Amino acid sequence: MTVGGPVAVGGPVTAGSRVRGSGAVRVVVLVVAGVLVAGCTAGAADGSASPRRSANPGSMGTPTATSAASAEPSGTSARPSPVPSVHSEGGTRVLEYGDLVVRATPEGDGVRTEIAVTNTYQRKATYSVQITVADGAGWTAYDRFWLQGVPPGATRRDEAVIGSAEMGPAPRVPKIYVDEFSPLVDGE
pLDDT tens-digit readout, 102-128: 999 999 999 999 999 999 999 999 999
The CA-atom distances, in angstroms, between 165 and each of 80, 95, 143, 170 are 39, 24, 16, 8
DSSP-derived secondary structure for 93-140: EEEEETTEEEEEEEETTEEEEEEEEE--SSS-EEEEEEEEEE-SSS-E
pLDDT tens-digit readout, 79-106: 788 899 999 999 999 999 999 999 999 9
State which amino acid sits at residue 99. Answer: D
Mean pLDDT of 7-19: 40
Could you tell me if 150 and 119 are in contact, meaning their C-beta atoms sit under 8 angstroms apart? yes
pLDDT tens-digit readout, 19-43: 344 444 443 444 334 333 333 333 3
Query: Of residues 160 and 4, which shows the higher confidence score?
Result: 160
Strands (E), 15-99: 49-52, 64-67, 85-89, 92-97
pLDDT score recorded for residue 93? 98
Could you tell me if 146 and 127 are in contact, meaning their C-beta atoms sit under 8 angstroms apart? yes
Backbone dihedral region for residue 149 (phi beyond 0: left; psi -120 to 50: alpha; all else: beta): left
Could you tell me if 72 and 2 are in contact, meaning their C-beta atoms sit under 8 angstroms apart? yes
pLDDT tens-digit readout, 138-165: 999 999 999 999 999 999 999 999 999 9
For the chain, which domains are there?
A: 23-74+84-185 (2.60.40)
In the predicted structure, residue 15 carries a pLDDT above the cut 70: no
Q: Supply the Cα-derived Rg of the chain in whole angstroms.
A: 16
